[in-house]
Amino acid sequence: MLTAETDILVVGGGIAGTSVAYHLTALGRRVTLLERGEIASGASGINAGQIDSIGWGHKPDLQAHLTTGSLDIFKSIQLDLGEDVEFRQSGALQAIHTEAEGDFERERVRALRERGHRVELLANREARSLEPGWSPRLLGAMYSPERSQADPCRATRAFATLAERSGARVLTSREVTALAPRPGGGWLARTSGGDVAAGSLVLAAGAWCGPVGALLGLDIPLVPVRGQMWATAPVAPSVFQTMSSAESALAWHRDPGTDPPLLTLRKGARLTRHLYGRQRRDGEIIFGGDRELAGWSATPDPAGIEVNRAHAIEVLPFLAGLPIARTWAGLMPFPLDGKPLIGRIPLRPDLWIVGGLASSGFGRGPMAGKLLAEYLHSGRPAAVLAEADPARCVVERH
């Protein structure tokens, strides 16, 4: 017996899935969302909460749409719709440690400003005036005034709440165990809480898009990459921007790697150090950065945590006096070719995907969901989705 009939079934209750549900219901569609745990129980709820916009630029590409478009949506959620997601347009500083990094950042800022993006190269004295705890030993920083932050759990749950207010059904503790086409069109999902029938099916399961795709006989080339973080105990306001470092940006510019790109460790060997962090409203200072293929393990690696903490102390020396209070890890959906998957999967009728947002899912997921919702509703993809077309890489499973 069917537990639900719906126009569109969304599988996954992370930031992208809840955004799809919210934007589809805003377009008047009947939507049911299934989440095997709770809303924001995966990577969408345990990330750093950073929103990495540098502005639309003169000719907005997919990255500009996903980042700046998402920033606009976060602003609307907080300021217009009254959902307190702890949004703050704080700005961001990316630390320059070496002369090579300084040369790289100087050229990067020049190229970005030519394309109309909002970034600046700061001398270290200027960076310290924005961030009092900033190390006097650094050589400077790239400053991005539009970069922002929000609480990942609150934001993801806000999208789900807004979708429900518009009529969506959000069903948690509903693991999908089988998916099959229905005679005459549409889909039937078998779940731990009963069956759901739908006209269209949207895969928004993050790192689990691969296993869900396997239920359909498809190979979706996304792999789980472990990201890990650590936090201090709550302290008085001490970190005012979001933080990062130019070390990994330069390393990946020189050699991004493949299958997937942009890792910090590969086969146990460290390639670079990556850093991001901020201070939450509750006073915790949180940092992370390691990216490693570790199967489905979400257990933090203490050695990697220590490397990351040492990197953070180079940027903010006062952190040396604050012990680690907790650590955690999650699984991020990295596409093998480094590009998102947003659109229709033509190998099956009425099948769609929004995924592969890698380490920036929180900051890009809201707009990714909106673009997918508008495409599904109208049947016409936005031009910027060409490079995210799932048809380029999703194949039959053998």
pLDDT at 3: 60
CATH of domain 2-80+152-221+337-396: 3.50.50.60
Using CA atoms of 297, 41, 86, 328 in order, give the dihedral in degrees to the nearest 10.
-20
Cβ atoms within 10 Å of 13's Cβ, excluding its own? 32
DSSP annotation of 292 reads: E
DSSP annotation of 357 reads: -
Longest alpha-carbon distance in the chain? 68
pLDDT at 398: 87
Coil/strand/helix, residue 119:
coil
pLDDT at 286: 98
Cβ atoms within 10 Å of 107's Cβ, excluding its own? 12
Contact 172, 79 (CB under 8 A): no
Per-residue pLDDT of the chain (398 residues; tens, 9 = 90+): 446 799 999 999 999 999 999 999 999 999 999 999 999 999 999 999 999 999 999 999 999 999 999 999 999 999 999 999 999 999 999 999 999 999 999 999 999 999 999 999 999 999 999 999 999 999 999 999 999 999 999 999 999 999 999 999 999 999 999 999 999 899 999 998 999 999 999 999 999 999 999 999 999 999 999 999 999 999 999 999 999 999 999 999 999 999 999 999 999 999 999 999 999 999 999 999 999 999 999 999 999 999 999 999 999 999 999 999 999 999 999 999 999 999 999 999 999 999 999 999 999 999 999 999 999 999 999 999 999 999 999 999 98
CA-CA distance, 200 to 179, in Å (whole number)? 12
The superfamily in CATH containing domain 92-145+223-335 is: D-Amino Acid Oxidase, subunit A, domain 2 (3.30.9.10)
Contact 74, 87 (CB under 8 A): yes
Instruction: Tell me if the bond preceding 261 is cis, omega within 30° of 0.
Output: no
CA-CA distance, 152 to 127, in Å (whole number)? 27
pLDDT at 290: 96
Give domain limits for the chain. 2-80+152-221+337-396, 92-145+223-335
Using CA atoms of 228, 393, 20, 145 in order, give the dihedral in degrees to the nearest 10.
50
> What token pair was written down for 87?
């949004």
pLDDT at 370: 98
pLDDT at 245: 98
pLDDT at 96: 98
Long-range CB contact pairs, 216-220, < 8 A, 24+: 216/179, 216/348, 216/351, 217/396, 217/397, 218/345, 218/347, 218/348, 218/394, 218/395, 218/396, 218/397, 219/394, 219/395, 219/396, 219/397, 219/398, 220/341, 220/353, 220/355, 220/390, 220/394
